[in-house]
């Protein structure tokens, strides 16, 4: 079986059954992801990125055209998540 199908190998492999969850959580071998960058997923940057609010004016328009002309990259003027406070 491919490891991706073995739920016990996945970081979100927490069973719906709480009794099983408890067993898995007590496993000492399981590596803690998120610690010191170890075993962090490739998409960590995406996890950390704070998405700008959705522009609902684009609803129903072509995402490809918006990507090409940069319209989908426009954020509200007051949106400055990295600004110094």
Partner 1 sequence: MPSPSRLAGLLRDGRFVVTAELSAANSADPEATWRRAEVLRGSVDAINCTDNTGAHVHISSLAAAHLLVEKGLEPIMQLTVRDRNRLALQADLLGAAALGVRNIVLMSGDDVTAGDHPEARRIYDIDSMQLVEVAAGLRDRGTYLSGRKLEQAPSFFIGAVENPFAPPLEFRPLRLQKKVRAGADFIQTQLVFDVPIFARFMAMVGELGLLDKVFIIPSIGIPRSARGARYMKEKVPGLHVPDSLVDRLEKTAAARQADEGVRIAVELVSAVREIPGVAGVHLIGIKWEEGVVQVAEAAGLLPRPTFSPRASVGGHG
Instruction: Tell me which residues touch partner 1 (CB under 8 A).
Output: 10-14, 18-19, 21-22, 25, 32-36, 44, 47-48, 50-54, 56, 76-81, 83, 85
| Minimum CB distance to partner 1, residue 4 (Å) | 14
Residue whose structure tokens are 């400055």: 80
Q: How far apart, in Å, do the first and last CA atoms of the chain sit? A: 51
Closest distance of CB 85 from partner 1, Å: 4
Tell me whether residue 27 or residue 64 sits nearer to partner 1 (CB atom).
27
Q: How far is Cα 9 from Cα 30, in angstroms, rounded to an integer?
A: 9
Q: How far is the CB of 67 from partner 1 (least distance, A)?
A: 21
Rg for the chain (alpha carbons), in Å?
20
Q: Which two tokens stand for residue 39?
A: 């075993």
């Amino acid at each position: 079986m491919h490891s991706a199908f073995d739920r016990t190998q996945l970081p979100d492999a927490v069973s719906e059954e709480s009794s099983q969850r408890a067993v898995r959580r007590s496993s000492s071998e399981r590596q803690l992801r998120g610690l010191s960058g170890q075993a962090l997923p490739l998409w960590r940057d995406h996890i950390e990125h704070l998405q700008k609010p959705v522009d609902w004016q684009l609803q129903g328009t072509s995402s490809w055209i918006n990507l090409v002309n940069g319209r989908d990259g426009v954020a509200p003027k007051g949106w400055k998540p990295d600004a110094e406070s």
